[in-house]
């Protein structure tokens, strides 16, 4: 569904390369999570998929077509995107935010209204109550639900997510993560998500791609990574959620009578 072949990105200003020789194929209906520390190039990689950033070299193929041969605007409308800072339009109502991509795709307004209601219902925001609200009147969790609904509105096959749950409180994050995972499964969405939270990656991903300093270190399922880490850095990354889980278990056991 998405194929990156020897993709590199370097910036003229600094001369530094953000991404180097990145090769990866993401298959249809797969949930791929890109992890790594801040500045490792994971967000740049994500943005190259819908040409928000253009690669310096290499090839990216989405749904069988080279992205550089596709009109960037059509490409972006066909791919859902959930932004790091949520990025809702503060001057539009919830319904207008959710319906913006269908509107750009020139759907008829009854079809847009129907789609908006459907998605809002799906995301647990009763349309009658929330349609006319402004983003500023919503909680962080509700805003991100709107963000996800907006990304899905144009019926994309592919969804790109840039640390979508990063700014939420732990309880809300947990609820949204589980809801989103089941949504992804039931619709067979292809998802590429960026996060620096290893626990989140382990919980959601079909496969995890670990990046460091612009390079792809290893890609595999959580079991594969846990069993055969091919780099010390991966071991370090995986240790933390493990240690947390272990100590949590210890606390729970100690409490048992």
Partner 1 sequence: MNARLVEQLAALPDTFSHHLLLSLSALLTGILICFPLAILISRVKALQWPALTFASVVQTIPGLALLALMVPLLGRIGFLPAFLALVLYSMLPILHNTVSGLVGLDRSIIEAARGIGMSPVQQLFHVELPLAAPVIVAGIRTSAVWIVGTATLATPVGATSLGNHIFSGLQTQNPTAVLVGCFAAAALAVTLDQLIGWLQRAAERRNRRSGLAAGVSLLCLFLVGLVPLASKWGANCTERSTTVVVGAKTFTEQYLLAEFLNLMLKQAGMEAESKTSLGSTILFDALVKGEVDCYIDYSGTLWANLMKRTDVPPRAVLIEELSRWLQERHQVTLLGTLGFENTYALAIPEETATRQDISNLAELAPHTPKLRIGSDYEFFGRPEWQSLKQKYGLRFSEQRTFDPSLMYAAIRAKSVDVISAYSTDGRIIDYNLVVLKDPKGALPPYDAVLLLSPAASRRSELVAALAPVLGKITDDTIRQANKLVDLQGRSIPEAAAFVQKAVHSRRAPVSP
Closer residue to partner 1 in complex, CB, 168/198 = 168
Distance CA 67, CA 116 (A): 28
- Select from 1-9, 76-84, 114-122, 200-208 the region that touches partner 1 (CB under 8 A): 76-84
Taking the complex as a whole, how short is the minimal distance between the CB of residue 86 and partner 1, in angstroms?
8
What is the residue-wise DSSP string for 203-241? HH-SEEEEEETTEEEEEE-HHHHHH---SHHHHHHHHHH
Give, rounded to a whole angstrom, the gap between the first and last alpha carbons of the chain: 52
Closer residue to partner 1 in complex, CB, 53/61 = 53
Contacting residue, 9, 42, 76, 131, with partner 1 by CB under 8 A: 76
Alpha helices per DSSP H over 14-139 = 42-49, 72-78, 94-98, 100-104, 109-122, 127-130
Closer residue to partner 1 in complex, CB, 98/234 = 98
Distance CA 184, CA 207 (A): 14
Closer residue to partner 1 in complex, CB, 151/225 = 151
Contacting residue, 1, 59, 83, 224, with partner 1 by CB under 8 A: 83
Closer residue to partner 1 in complex, CB, 99/241 = 99
Residue 77 near partner 1 by CB under 8 A: yes
CA-nearest of 57, 104, 64 to 80 is: 104
| CA atoms lying within 13 Å on the CB side of residue 15 | 0
Distance CA 102, CA 31 (A): 24
Closer residue to partner 1 in complex, CB, 6/89 = 89
Taking the complex as a whole, how short is the minimal distance between the CB of residue 34 and partner 1, in angstroms?
17
- On whether the CB atoms of residues 119 and 131 are closer than 8 A, the answer is no
- Select from 1-9, 22-30, 70-78, 235-243 the region that touches partner 1 (CB under 8 A): 70-78
Contacting residue, 35, 67, 95, 100, with partner 1 by CB under 8 A: 100
Site of interaction with partner 1 (CB under 8 A): 50, 52, 73-78, 81, 83-85, 87-91, 100-101, 104, 134, 150-151
């Amino acid at each position: 569904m998405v194929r990156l072949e020897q993709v590199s990105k370097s910036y003229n200003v600094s001369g530094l390369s953000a991404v180097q020789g990145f090769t990866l194929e993401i298959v249809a209906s797969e949930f791929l999570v890109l992890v790594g520390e801040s500045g490792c190039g994971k967000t740049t990689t994500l943005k190259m998929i819908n040409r928000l950033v253009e690669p310096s070299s290499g090839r990216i193929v989405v749904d069988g077509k080279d992205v550089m041969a596709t009109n960037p605007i059509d490409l972006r409308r066909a791919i859902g995107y959930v932004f790091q800072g949520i990025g809702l339009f503060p001057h539009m109502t919830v319904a207008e935010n959710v319906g913006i991509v269908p509107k750009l795709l020139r759907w008829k307004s009854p079809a847009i209204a129907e789609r908006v209601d459907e998605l809002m219902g799906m995301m647990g925001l009763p349309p009658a109550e929330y349609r006319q609200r402004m983003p500023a009147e919503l909680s962080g969790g509700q805003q991100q639900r709107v963000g996800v609904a907006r990304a899905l509105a144009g019926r994309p096959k592919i969804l790109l997510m840039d640390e979508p749950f990063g700014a939420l409180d732990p309880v809300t994050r947990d609820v949204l993560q589980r809801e989103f995972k089941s949504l992804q499964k039931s619709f067979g969405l292809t998802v590429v998500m960026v996060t620096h939270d290893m626990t989140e990656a382990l919980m959601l991903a079909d496969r995890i791609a670990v990046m460091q300093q612009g390079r792809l270190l290893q890609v595999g399922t959580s079991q594969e990574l846990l069993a055969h880490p091919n780099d010390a850095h991966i071991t370090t990354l995986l240790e933390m959620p493990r240690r947390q889980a272990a100590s949590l278990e210890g606390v729970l056991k100690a409490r048992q009578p």
